[in-house]
Structure 1
Amino acid sequence: MTSDPSSTYYKRHPIAMTIHPLEIKHARQICEWAYEPPFDIYNWPSWEQMKKDGIEFGDSVLREAQYAAVLGNQLELIGFAQFFPIAGVTRLGLGLRPDLCSQGLGSAFARLIALEARKRAPRDEIDLEVLAWNSRAVRAYERAGFRIADTYSRPTPQGFAECHCMVYEPVDD
């Protein structure tokens, strides 16, 4: 399930991004990522805890079916994607490595993942959820071709929060 080798390039950095299966070594790395507050809401539990609980990519079946690694030129882990199936919709989950955040990389990253979702399920609508206060991510998703379709409150690890559902509607696809 690897993307076209031409892949997507960061606008300000000459790094190609490609989609690959999420391996255990990638899962371990993701669990070690530490985002600064207030983005620390996106930190994962330890790898040992995820394996023990069988949650998300700690479940080998779910990891293989729904998760992918986004790798750079040297096959270094840049981020991850989840392709969560809902009837007629692929809901994306995505995370960029913390040291790469706020560098103008988010829109190319999100677009690559949306295009991969379209390859995997061409008839599905593609959407994602983002916390409304995360204006940095909202702007990146808008530049990638997503538009806010709905806003609602939902539970998070830190209580209820306002969330946007954004739908992929690129003008140049």
Structure 2
Amino acid sequence: MRYSVEDEQMLVKEMDEKSAREILSWRYEQPYDLYNNEATEESLNELLDGSYKVVILHDGTVFGFFCTGKMAQVPAGHNFGAYNDNCVDVDLGMNPDYTGKGNGYTFCSFIIEFVARIFPNIPVRLTVATFNKRAIHLYEKLGFEKKNQFSNGSTEFITMLTVCQTPTD
């Protein structure tokens, strides 16, 4: 079955425990299994710390999530100066039922527009594992450019940066 959200209405809500537990149960296929989370109290508390939002489809389906700020950064990047510029860091994850099916542009555009409304005219920075060519291609399509590269010892990452303009209504 092809899940498409092209004509779906999405909305952002505060992360709640039910959504957080669902997100922690998501499983991605290799090589994207790096993004699988463990359902521990620590990971649950992180999702519920106030920096995470959940993206819901009109029928109540959890389509994805995102966070901004320090929680969106890979800690090792600080050792390489990857986060020295004044930017809004964004991390995001999409429900694996929807990945690889042409939904990324709609999902990411929605999140970037949401963030741009809260932080107008501040550059947005994403951090992505270099093996994730699918995400890198999508981010480039959205106007992001590669900036810094670093490693946490097991995975190579790049930061990608764009300047978001305040959307007009």
- Aligned position for 1:28: 21
1:99 alignment partner, SS class: coil
Contact 1:19 1:70 in 2 (8 A): yes
Change in CA separation of 1:84 and 1:101 when aligned onto 2, cut-off 3 Å: same
Q: In structure 1, what residue type is equivalent to 2:151?
A: R
Whole-Å Cα distance in 2 between the matches of residues 15 and 42 of structure 1? 25
Query: 5+ residue gaps in structure 2?
Result: 71-82
Identity fraction in percent: 26
- Counterparts of 1:130-149 in structure 2 under 5 Å? 130-149=128-147
State which of 140, 150, 154 in structure 2 corresponds to 1:153.
Answer: 150
- Aligned position for 1:79: 64
How far is 1:144 from its partner? 2.2
Change in CA separation of 1:163 and 1:50 when aligned onto 2, cut-off 3 Å: closer
Whole-Å Cα distance in 2 between the matches of residues 172 and 135 of structure 1? 28
- Aligned position for 1:5: none
After the TM superposition, list the runs of 4 or more consecutive aligned residues in structure 1 that deviate by more than 4 angstroms: 170-173
Whole-Å Cα distance in 1 between the matches of residues 91 and 145 of structure 2? 16
Query: 5+ residue gaps in structure 1?
Result: 1-9
Whole-Å Cα distance in 2 between the matches of residues 48 and 154 of structure 1? 27
How far is 1:48 from its partner? 3.4
Whole-Å Cα distance in 2 between the matches of residues 142 and 43 of structure 1? 24
- Aligned position for 2:161: 167
Please identify, of 137-146 and 86-95, the stretch whose mean Cα deviation from structure 2 is larger: 86-95
Q: In structure 2, what residue type is equivalent to 1:146?
A: F
Change in CA separation of 1:47 and 1:25 when aligned onto 2, cut-off 3 Å: farther
1:130 alignment partner, SS class: strand
- Aligned position for 1:93: 91
Please identify, of 113-122 and 88-97, the stretch whose mean Cα deviation from structure 2 is larger: 113-122
Whole-Å Cα distance in 1 between the matches of residues 166 and 52 of structure 2? 26
Which structure has more RCO (C-alpha within 8 Å, separation ≥ 6)? 2
Q: In structure 1, what residue type is equivalent to 2:145?
A: R
2:22 alignment partner, SS class: helix
Contact 2:19 2:62 in 1 (8 A): yes
